[in-house]
Structure 1
């Protein structure tokens, strides 16, 4: 078995969920290979998150837990942008991005090690809150510009990998060299589509993979419907707004790389709207929330028309430290 690389920084973004954060940090103490750094980005929480972090610092060797508090809530996107920047400034060679409502399985880094010897952007599998496998593997349909689930018959090859061009910040492990090619995660998304787009950008330069090994377990229970090929969770008003608004950011990145099919992308946007209406009706049993989707779609038009828009600049990524 390959050895686990030393300079792996776990980057956690949290906002007012200290009870989940405690469990996640405790799970990090049970890792078979101790983490090099754990960067916690506190998105201006108003609960006892800072007290939790002060106590948790004593669970690790000096300097391992990095408490990085922001002055305002920048959303998951802003948090992962800042956390990645801090990790690279510290000298991380790998950055493992995750939300605060998961726990890390003890053998996670050992399970990543073989993939890290071959690939530069990797996702492990995760269990749902009830202990069942959470099926989230997806791949961007280039014409529609939406990630669609793999078929159920065969996802992984004989070596236990599946090549993709999409991903999630609930477990994406990315090499620092890739970050320096594509730039930091884009904070303008605030929430949703940021992680799928970031993996898509990485896939323009390197192979992005899922591996058939479990590394995380989700802890937060949500309303959901299991459709077989995927789970549909409930969604907040913020999510509904941004899932439509941020389609414009996805499209701008596709266009920047010459991969935008305007007719197909428009169809994909309509399908996204329809999926969110379906989520409202089937999961949340309501149509209240349609206004959030409409507002997001209207604001997306402003982003499309913004002539000053530019992608994230790789020049803003901290350089590698001299060794």
Structure 2
């Protein structure tokens, strides 16, 4: 069968051609990194239909980069979508997904602005797009070595635990229920079924829970192909099975506060183990203390962690809280891999 015209379905509802893909980038005040990413996007051997850039109310230099980059793409490919306020990564991907769906995208490839795309990425993804509805490729680190990749939620603790390369099957993939917006490739039918990314997270846990939601309706996988190259240098400590990178107080706060959002989603789906989740939250706090000690060499961020934990209690008590709703036209999904038409 010609892979350029192959169509797939959820429960018999036919989707459009696989190549109708939008790269969705969220950026905030990193114009040089964005420029390098857009250069790599323009050099892809299989071009995306759209490159949607959500500018999270950056300084003018970001718009200068987007204006200059437009000439490298066919007319209408580069979509410059500037927000009036910074909505965080979660808000940016929420808006980027909405724009991509409005354009008519059938696949959405989410990524931050601090990576470059391997030229053959979409060719490498192609056979996996025949089989799965939510896919993650691998990433090279800044120095060109394989980047630590995770993870799969331990459902009892509610925390993502790391994979190793040995977790790949002989077929070259590993099934997961977690993920990252630094490279998540997801079918529009899945997005419509689980709703847009939840902007309330602002940053932290938003991508992990989004892949978890996807895993409730389709198969989510990591595949043993390298598709991105990380570009942002961070302080880090190598613990062998994983790295601990530096983090800001803003990230630390949301790391703890957003545990409540994760728990609320688990609860809605009947998969919350309250005792285990409390233990997982305590372990998350402990991990952030270790990060402070080993990477930052300080304990000054401890108060921020406590504040985030405390504010999360308000989310637990919010009787008006609701999950993100499915979108209009959401297909009925039985779960498992794609069905061929």
TM-score category, normalised to shorter length: over 0.9
Determine if contact 2:189/2:330 at 8 Å carries over to the other structure.
no
Are 1:237 and 2:249 an aligned pair? yes
How does the TM-score come out when normalised to structure 1?
0.96
Equivalent residue, structure 2, for 1:180:
192
Distance 2:329 2:246 in 1: 35
Whole-angstrom CA distance in 1 between matches of 2:123 and 2:165: 27
Counterpart selection for 1:106 from 114, 119, 136? 119
- What is residue 335 of structure 2 aligned with on the other side? none
Mapped to 1, the partners of 2:190 and 2:206 lie a distance apart of: 16
Aligned counterpart for 1:16 among listed residues 29, 46, 62: 29
Q: In the alignment, is the contact (CA less than 8 A) between 1:183 and 1:316 conserved in 2?
A: no
Q: CA RMSD in A?
A: 1.4
Is it true that 1:145 corresponds to 2:163 in the alignment?
no
What is the aligned residue count? 318
Once the two structures are TM-superposed, the CA of residue 316 in structure 1 deviates from its matched residue by 6.0
Q: 1:34 is matched with which residue? A: 47
Residue number among 295, 310, 316 corresponding to 1:298 in the alignment: 310
Kindly indicate whether the alpha-carbon contact (under 8 Å) linking 1:136 and 1:149 is maintained by their aligned counterparts in 2: yes
**Distance change (3 Å), C-alpha of 1:136 and 1:280:** same
Instruction: Say if 2:281 is the partner of 1:269.
Output: yes
**Matches of residues 1-323 of structure 1 in structure 2 within 5 Å?**
2-3=3-4, 5-150=18-163, 152=164, 154-315=166-327
Structure 1 residue runs of 5 or longer lacking an equivalent are none
Distance in 2 between the 1:82 and 1:6 partners?
21
| Conserved 8 A contact 1:184-1:317 | no
Q: 1:153 to 1:193 in 2, by over 3 A?
A: closer
Deviations 1:251-307 (A, max 9, x none): 000000000000000000000000000000001111110011011001000000000
Check conservation: 2:150, 2:160, Cα contact below 8 A: no
Give me the whole-angstrom Cα distance separating, in 1, the residues matched to 2:35 and 2:187: 27
Displacement of 1:169:
0.1
Deviation at 1:137, TM superposition (A): 2.2
Task: Describe the SS at the equivalent of 1:307.
Answer: coil
Aligned partner of residue 321 in structure 2, secondary structure: coil
| Consecutive aligned runs of 4 or more in structure 1 exceeding 2 Å deviation | 1-5, 315-319
Is the CA contact 1:241–1:296 (under 8 Å) kept in the aligned structure 2? yes
